Chains A and B, each alone.
Chain A
Amino acid sequence: MSVANAAHSVVEPSAHARRFAGLLVILYAIITMIPLVWIVLTSFKSPDDAISYPPKILFKPSVEGYCNLFTTRSRQTPEFIQTLGQPRGLCDSIARSRNMVVAGPSNYVPRFVNSLIIAFGSTMLAVALGTLSAYGFSRFRVPLKDDLLFFILSTRMMPPIAVAIPIYLMYRTLGLSDTRLGMILLYTSVNVSLAVWLLKGFIDEIPREYEEAAMIDGYTRFQAFVKVVLPQATTGIAATAIFCLIFAWNEYAFAVLLTSGNAQTAPPFIPIIIGEGGQDWPAVAAGTTLFLVPIVVFTVLLRKHLLRGITFGAVRK
Chain B
Amino acid sequence: MKRPLYLLPLLALAGLRLAAQPSFEGPAPSTVPEIDEDRRRAAYVRRVDEMLGWAAAGGKARTDDPAKLDLAMIAAKIVRGEDLPGCSQRVIELMREPGTGPFWMFPTVCIAYLGRDRLAPEALASIRTAWKTTRQQRGDTENHFVMYYASLYLMAELYPDESAETWYSGRSSAENFAEASAFLIKWIETNTTVGQGEFNTSNYIGEYAIPLSFLANWSKDPAMRQRASMMLDWLFAELATSSLNGVLRGPHSRTDEGAVIERWQAMTSFFSWLLFGNTPPTAGYSGWGLYFAPLAKSYHLPEVTYRIATDRRGDFIQRDRARVRRLWRYSDELSPPVYKTNYLRHDYGVGSTTGGLIDPIQSHVWDVTWAESDPRGKHPTMFSLHPHSSSRAMQSSFTAYPEPWIKGVTFEGKPSYDSPDKLMGSSPYEQVFQDLDTVIALYAIAPGERFPHINGFFSKDLINVTEDDSGWIFAQGGRAYLAYRPLAGYHWIPYLHYKSGWAKERLDLGGRVLTSPHLNNGTIVQAASVDEFTDFAAFQRAIRALPLAFKLEPLPAVEMTTLRGNKISFTFGTVPQVNGRAVDYRAWKLFEGPHLNAEVGGRKLTITHGRLERVLDFNTLSVTNRVK
Tell me if chain B binds chain A.
no
Residue numbers of A with Cβ under 8 A of B are none
**Which residues on B are within 8 Å of A, measured CB to CB?**
none
